[in-house]
Amino acid sequence: MSVYGQNLNNLGAATPTSYVYVEPAAGGVGQWVTPTAMGDFKVDFTVPSGLASGEYKVWSHNGHGGKYGWAGPLTVAVRDAFPRTGVTFNVRDYGAVGDGVADDSAAIFNA
């Protein structure tokens, strides 16, 4: 997941820092999430796998400004993955080459 905005990290510091906190929107105890990447206007993180389906608030902090350094919250919906149903199709059975050069569009469409 990515959070976009300004001042989401302290990139000018020797060690760039950004903090992300995820908590249930209805209240309760949240958890810190380690960012996976950060840039001038974006912080990336992986949604914790143990989150139950529901609404969550995502807070971010840039490591400066104490209580005033918090951005957000942003509200996000976490939903259970859709169950996989149906048949698996191998596009090579429909003529796909899969070499990164050939145009396999027709084979993918036919599958």
| 40-71 per-position pLDDT tens digit | 788 899 988 888 899 999 988 887 777 777 87
73 prior amide bond cis, ω within 30: yes
- Residue 65 shares a structural domain with residue 90: no
Per the CB < 8 A criterion, the answer to whether 21 and 73 are in contact is no
Per the structure, the complete domain to which residue 64 belongs is given by 2-78
- Residue 12 shares a structural domain with residue 57: yes
- Residue 40 shares a structural domain with residue 74: yes
- Residue 71 shares a structural domain with residue 91: no
d(CA 53, CA 48): 12
Q: What's the total number of domains in the chain?
A: 2
Taking alpha carbons only, the member of 54, 64, 77, 55 closest to residue 19 is 64
Per the CB < 8 A criterion, the answer to whether 38 and 5 are in contact is no
- Residue 98 shares a structural domain with residue 66: no
- Residue 94 shares a structural domain with residue 43: no
Identity of the amino acid at 38: M
- Residue 64 shares a structural domain with residue 93: no
- Residue 24 shares a structural domain with residue 71: yes
Tokens 């950060």, residue located: 38
Task: Give the tens place of pLDDT for each residue, 17-35.
Answer: 888 999 999 988 999 999 9
